[in-house]
Chains A and B, each alone.
Chain A
């Protein structure tokens, strides 16, 4: 069910898998702008939440409404997977794929693709097979592919958890750039320090529930719940 709204609205969402309840019931209204970090311990349901927002999964019950643009049509969203999903093709073809789907191939598409590859530093090996890239490079490729459609909303599932410091830095810088041009970013992480660096807003999830959600500085300086406190301090919930 799609209603008029400027951002994601979750209404009594319940999501289970294999008979086990993963999320919910959750009712939450996302803000229209911001760089939201969804944090919480392992298995809390962070990934599932993101997948629901991107319609990779349907909730068992409840409603999710997607953000609409000025023309009443859902806004463009891109998703970056924790483990990169790449086609058995070259770097270039992977990055160009979303454009290829909507516009075919053309000089224009080629130009745009190279632009985004340049942005992530992969233009030199654009002809290499994607599977031959390093972990960090693969994630950068995913990011280039996600950005190439100029999304209004960018959803990332733990994009840097398997990467080295250098790649993490590069990606965080790119995300900061996106935030600056008003892209709505929703991202998960296990890393509290990273959350501090990036977030404008934090959603803390524990055992399938949104336990706390607040503006970033408010959350980190004065967490309202003991679970949040514990997590901020030690990275686990006692």
Chain B
């Protein structure tokens, strides 16, 4: 128990004193993960929307594959990205290994399936209620996708938050492809691993506390969005 209290005390002290090391790491974590969520959204939302409104042979298979990709173990993704971007690998010439770039790439691969899945579900539901109207107005495929994405933006925001939550706490993949380099690829989770291995639980707990704080803030946002959604549907 001593460890826990000492650690929390030390962690709080670091946060309040605006410890430079701490904030550098937090900022980098946010930069990497927010970039990943943005890029993943640019892929996941159109794909999810397209799967919701298209009818083609193999559509069910495509949806099944997209859903099962959610089960990709993050650390395996990390290993595969490492092999691809290693100097001995096919993309080695890009010199992106052990940089934030490959960390973002790995996180994008990890979170795109779940974001696409949530988007597909939400957009599919909305499409079911809009369909007759859109057919009646002879909207094009593109116009249909646009109106669905725009009107389903709340659900898509939640998808983004889900992706963020999964990415910010991931450690295996980004440790492998990032190398946990000080002042360069070290983020919240990988720093926790390092500080723990030094037996320095104070800093590790401080970082862990921030991670928890981010998760809590996330959940508050989600709660706020979904509850305001609920009050709407009660209007007569």
Contact = CB atoms under 8 A, between A and B. Distances in A.
Nearest to B151: A88
Nearest to A142: B133
A51 to B, nearest CB: 8
Contacts of A79: 136
A74 to B, nearest CB: 10
Interface string B124-146: 00100110110111010001000
A52 B133 CA distance: 14
Q: Which of B126, B130, B137, B235 has the most CB of A within 10 A?
A: B137
Interface residues of A, number: 17
A234 interface: no
Interface in B207-225: none
A22 B25 CA distance: 66
B137 A87 contact: no
A107 interface: no
B149 to A, nearest CB: 12
Given A97-B137, A101-B143, A85 B235 contact: no
A87 B232 contact: no
B236 to A, nearest CB: 7
Contacts of B43: none
A130 B188 CA distance: 45
Contact of A81 (B132, B151, B235): B132
Contacts of B233: 131
B63 interface: no
A54 interface: yes
A87 B130 contact: yes
A106 interface: no
Contacts of B129: 85
A49 to B, nearest CB: 15
Contacts, number: 31
A87 B130 CA distance: 7
A52 to B, nearest CB: 13
Interface string A51-68: 000111000000000000
Q: Which of A79, A81, A88, A97 has the most CB of B within 10 A?
A: A88
B235 A87 contact: no
A55 B135 CA distance: 8
A56 B136 contact: yes
Contacts of A134: 236
Q: Which of A54, A55, A87, A98 has the most CB of B within 10 A?
A: A87
Contacts of B147: 87
Given A85-B130, A87-B130, A131-B235, 18 more contacts: A54-B136, A55-B135, A56-B135, A81-B132, A85-B129, A85-B133, A87-B133, A87-B147, A88-B151, A97-B137, A98-B137, A101-B137, A101-B139, A101-B143, A129-B232, A131-B232, A132-B235, A134-B236
12 contacts: A56-B132, A56-B135, A81-B133, A85-B133, A87-B147, A88-B151, A89-B151, A101-B137, A101-B139, A101-B143, A131-B233, A132-B235
Interface of A: 54-56, 78-79, 81, 85, 87-89, 97-98, 101, 129, 131-132, 134
The list of the 5 closest CB pairs from A to B, nearest first, reads A85-B133, A79-B136, A88-B151, A132-B235, A98-B137
